[in-house]
């Protein structure tokens, strides 16, 4: 709760998502917020915690989700299951009806030896091809992208508009 009250909202969400994922009890957090009513930052903490979600699997996903919200775009769902020719695949964030997926690519996915990194890139390409073959628009983000949050909204907005025009 303290982090959600004192950090900027985006980074407060990273901590709140992580706490929920680790098993923090939302009812206990609500009790703590009620007991702290009127204290500095409680309103911010309530806003952040209302948006927090245990399904966020990484700090990058949390930040990406916050930047989408800050841009005034509709909230995406998390860990969206998509049927593809390779079987079910999950995307980090997405809008099912529009078939738009947001993927956050952290460094861990491609770490290891050159051979392991190459295999990971190949596997990720096959996965993205399968998602696109299933009619999904996939927009990828990295840490470098998240350092420019003002660019997240326009990129996601273009994908959503493209999806809407494609459905007509």
pLDDT tens-place string over residues 62-119: 999 999 999 999 999 999 999 999 999 999 999 999 999 999 998 655 555 666 667 7
For 70-167, give the CATH class: alpha beta
Q: Are 94 and 77 in contact (CB under 8 A)?
A: yes
What share of the chain in percent tops pLDDT 90?
70
Q: Are 75 and 69 in contact (CB under 8 A)?
A: yes
Question: 95: helix, coil or strand?
Answer: strand
pTM (two decimals): 0.88
Cα 81 to Cα 123: distance, rounded to the nearest angstrom: 18
Domain spans, the chain: 2-54, 70-167
């Amino acid at each position: 709760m303290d982090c959600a009250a004192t950090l900027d909202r985006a980074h407060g969400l990273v901590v709140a998502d992580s706490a929920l994922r680790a098993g923090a009890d939302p009812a206990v957090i609500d009790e703590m917020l009620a007991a702290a009513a009127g204290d500095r930052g409680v309103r911010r903490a309530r806003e952040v915690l209302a948006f927090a979600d245990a399904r966020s699997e990484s700090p990058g996903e949390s930040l990406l989700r916050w930047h989408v919200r800050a841009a005034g775009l509709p909230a995406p769902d998390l860990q969206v299951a998509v049927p593809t020719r390779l079987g079910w695949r999950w995307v980090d964030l997405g809008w099912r009806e529009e078939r738009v997926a947001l993927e956050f690519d952290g460094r861990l996915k491609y770490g290891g030896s050159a051979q392991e990194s190459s295999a990971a890139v190949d596997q990720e390409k096959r996965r993205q091809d399968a998602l696109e073959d299933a009619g999904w628009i996939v927009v990828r983000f990295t840490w470098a992208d998240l350092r420019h949050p003002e660019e997240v909204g326009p990129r996601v907005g273009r994908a959503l508009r493209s999806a809407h025009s494609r459905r007509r």
